[in-house]
Structure 1
Amino acid sequence: MTKVDRRILKTQESLKKAVIELMTEKNFDEITIQDIADRANVNRGTIYLHYQDKYDLLDKLIEAHIDEIGAMDKWACEMDWVDALVPYFEYFADNHLFFSTMLASKGTPSSFRSRLFASFTEGFKNEIDRESGRNAELSDDVMLQYAGNAYVGVIEWWIRNGMPLPPQVMAKQVGVLLGRSL
């Protein structure tokens, strides 16, 4: 795997930060490539060296966060719910601007919530408790819809309300709830 030049990474990070900041100020559809270039302090042409358009830039930004969350799924499955959820809530807190913008912004492509939901339900598939018999009469699809929507909904509530509880408290409460339902 080739190493990416630090200048390229710095430029891409600057562009991603610029689009998120702009989305806190106005509707995504109203943001222009020139707005992004001005905010990131680069030429318009520089954006096109890295992305096809503003939608590609936003898609790559979303993809990077979804990939980070997906990477946590691999080792979280080995832990109990509460311990496994602490890093997730810490990640949401560390990336508050991104998540608050994506979950609250009007005009944001709706694919973000769907992709977040899909990421979580994929991780939950192997967590359904079939051994104890308590979920014997429940459909996997119904349980995944329920747990996925509940988890995303709690994250939305937490982010939109300024994270009123610390990540560790959220992990404990959500972990208990998910443990009861899956």
Structure 2
Amino acid sequence: MAKVDRRILKTQESLKKAVIELMSEKKFDDITIQDIADRANVNRGTIYLHYQDKYDLLDKIIESLINELKEMDAWACEMDWTDALVPYFEYFEKNHLLFSTMLATKGAPASFRTRLLASFMEGFKGEIDRESGKNADLHDDVMLQFAGTAYVGVIEWWIRNGMPYPPKVMAKQVGALLARTL
């Protein structure tokens, strides 16, 4: 795979940062390409070299975020819940502005929450405990919806409330709850 020019990466990162900052200030629908260009300190034409429009830019940001989380899924499946969740909560903390904007602010596109939920539910599929008998009478789709929605809801709560507990505490708490559920 060809290496992407650092200038392109720097421009794309600047555009991503600009969109996230602007979304923390006003609704996405009220943000213009000129707003993004001004905040990122680039020419409007530069945005169109990389993206079709602001919706394409946002979609690429969401896609990138979901892909980063999926990469974490690959090795997390080998661990117990608590150990597996620590890197996620550390990631959420490190990317606080992004997650607080995309999950916890009004006017943020619902597509992010929907895609995040779908990603977590997909990751939980292989975690359903059928051997112990505790889930014998439960349907997989109901359990996945319940666990995924609860997980996203806890992340939203944690971010909205200023991350009152450190990532390791959250991982332990949520890990215990998911272990009981799945």
The TM-score normalised by the length of structure 2 is 0.99
Matched, 1:116 2:116: yes
Quote the residue 1:128 is aligned against: 128
**What per-residue deviation string (whole Å, max 9, x for no partner) do you get for residues 157-181 of structure 1?**
0011110000000000000000000
What is the alpha-carbon distance in structure 1 between the residues aligned to residue 166 and residue 17 of structure 2? 25
- Tell me the residue number matched to 1:90: 90
Partner of 2:53: 53
The structural deviation recorded for 1:27 is 0.9
Aligned to 1:34: 34
Matched, 1:63 2:28: no
What SS does structure 1 have at the residue aligned with 2:68? helix
Q: What is the deviation of 1:153?
A: 0.4
- Between the aligned partners of 1:78 and 1:178, the Cα distance in structure 2 is 15
Gaps of 5+ in 2: none
Residue 59 of structure 1 aligns to a residue whose secondary structure is: helix
Q: Is the aligned partner of 1:73 residue 2:73?
A: yes
Give the CA RMSD over aligned residues: 0.6
Give the AA of the match of 1:87.
P
The residue type equivalent to 1:26 in the other structure is K
CA distance in 2, matches of 1:152, 1:70: 15
Q: Distance in 2 between matches of 1:104 and 1:124?
A: 23
Task: Please list every run of 5 or more consecutive structure 1 residues that lacks an aligned counterpart in the other structure.
Answer: none
Shift of 1:109: 1.6
Runs ≥4 in structure 1, deviation > 3 angstroms? none
SS of residue in 2 equivalent to 1:106: coil
Q: How many residues were matched structurally?
A: 182
Q: How far apart are the structure 2 equivalents of 1:9 and 1:30? A: 26
- Counterpart of 2:127, as a letter, is E
Identity %: 82
TM-score of the superposed pair, with normalisation by structure 1: 0.99
